[in-house]
């Protein structure tokens, strides 16, 4: 049986959302596409993943929101907060440590 669709993806939506919002504020629908485009279609998280995540991050104080109506459509813009930046730094460091350790194991010819 094949690997499940979410293999290796635990925590990735949060990492990417925080990373993208570090550059500029974005709204949910925009983030869904930005992740897909920034990864050349290698990573596609649907709205059912991103929206609940944004709500949780806002509830945790990592993001703040601003509502705006454009062309009759309502948008919710998300901005990263200082708390969110700290979280991004922590997640990034954790990510680098883990991927570094795993890369070592994958490429090592032997494991003393």
Which stretches of the chain bind a copy of itself, using CB under 8 A? 1, 3, 6-12, 15-16, 19-20, 23, 34, 37-40, 42-43, 60, 90-92, 94-95, 97-99, 101-106, 108-111
Q: What is the contact mask toward DNA in residues 37 to 56, using x (rule: CB under 7 A)?
A: --------xxxxx-xxxxx-
For DNA, give the closer residue by CB, 5 or 109: 5
Question: In the beta sheet, which residues pair with residue 64?
Answer: 79
Contact pattern from residue 66 through residue 95 relative to DNA, giving x for each residue in contact according to CB under 7 A and a dash for the rest: ----xxxxxxxx------------------
**20 belongs to the binding site for DNA (CB under 7 A):** no
56 vs 65, beta carbon nearer a copy of itself: 56
The CA–CA distances, whole Å, from 94 to 13, 38, 68 equal 15, 21, 35
Residue 9's contacts (CB-CB under 8 Å, 6 or more residues apart) are 43
Q: Rounded to whole angstroms, how far apart are CA atoms 78 and 74? A: 13
Tokens 């350790």 correspond to what residue? 101
- Nearer CB in complex with a copy of itself: 5/72: 5
User: E strands of the chain, at which residues?
Assistant: 26-27, 63-70, 73-80
């Amino acid at each position: 049986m094949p690997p499940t669709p979410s293999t290796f993806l635990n925590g990735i939506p949060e990492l990417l959302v925080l990373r993208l919002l570090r550059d500029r504020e974005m709204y949910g629908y925009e983030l869904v596409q930005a992740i897909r485009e920034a990864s050349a279609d290698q990573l596609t998280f649907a709205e059912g993943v991103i929206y609940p995540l944004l709500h949780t991050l806002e509830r945790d104080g990592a993001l703040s929101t601003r509502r705006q109506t454009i062309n009759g459509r309502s948008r919710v813009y998300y901005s990263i907060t200082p708390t969110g930046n700290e979280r991004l730094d922590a997640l990034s460091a954790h990510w680098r440590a883990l991927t570094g350790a795993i890369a070592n194991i994958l490429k090592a010819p032997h494991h003393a």
